[in-house]
């Protein structure tokens, strides 16, 4: 029905009678906007720094948050987390459409990495239990049902180097 905002905004209004066309129209708009771009085969992200899983703690999270606010011109840092082994991997959510990867660090702590609306098959690498892995992602503090938990917003899963 209408759209607006700054040039990088994605705001719009859609009527109930045309809501069923939303997904199709978004895909059509994407195809038009990106038709002239080369077909990139790279990972689609830039790693800002490498950290070990054992370095994840609230102090590190506070230091990263001091770089906020994140957005255009100041993207959230992306880290390559290493020196951990896969402890578990599962789909979760009402329809099983979210992915949780659990990594055991060198200290024996379990660290979760989560990707919403993703499956393990969508990543170029799917590890086996106990296998050393690396995770690409953002460190975040999740608040759910009154609990706080440091976790990684999953961007990619990589084999150990």
Q: Residue 2 corresponds to which tokens in the numbers above?
A: 């209408």
pTM (predicted TM-score): 0.76
Range of the domain at 27: 2-33
Residue 158 in contact with residue 135, Cβ under 8 Å? yes
In a domain, 135, yes or no: yes
Beta strand pairing status for 49-52 and 11-13? unpaired
Q: How far apart are CA 14 and CA 1, in angstroms?
A: 6
Q: How far apart are CA 124 and CA 134, in angstroms?
A: 12
In a domain, 125, yes or no: yes
Q: How far apart are CA 99 and CA 12, in angstroms?
A: 29
83-139, pLDDT tens digit by residue?
A: 999 999 999 999 999 999 999 999 999 999 999 999 999 987 888 999 999 999 999
Same domain, 19 and 53: no
Same domain, 65 and 17: no
Same domain, 120 and 149: yes
Give the sign of the dihedral formed by CA 46, CA 51, CA 56, CA 59. negative
Same domain, 57 and 22: no
Report the domain count for the chain: 2
């Amino acid at each position: 029905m209408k759209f607006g905002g700054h040039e990088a905004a994605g705001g719009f209004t859609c009527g109930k009678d045309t809501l069923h066309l939303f997904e199709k129209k978004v895909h059509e708009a994407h195809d038009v906007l990106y038709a002239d771009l080369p077909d990139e085969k790279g990972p689609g992200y830039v790693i800002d720094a490498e950290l070990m899983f054992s370095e994840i703690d609230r102090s590190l999270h506070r230091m990263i948050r001091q770089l906020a606010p994140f957005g255009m011109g100041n993207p959230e840092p992306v880290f390559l987390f290493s020196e951990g082994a896969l402890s578990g991997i599962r789909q979760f959510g009402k329809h099983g459409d979210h992915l949780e990867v659990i990594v055991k660090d060198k200290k024996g702590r379990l660290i979760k990495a989560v990707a919403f609306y993703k499956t393990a098959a969508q990543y170029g690498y799917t590890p086996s239990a106990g296998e050393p892995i690396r995770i690409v992602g953002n460190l975040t503090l999740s608040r759910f049902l009154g609990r706080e938990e440091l976790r990684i917003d999953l961007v990619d899963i990589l084999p150990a180097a």
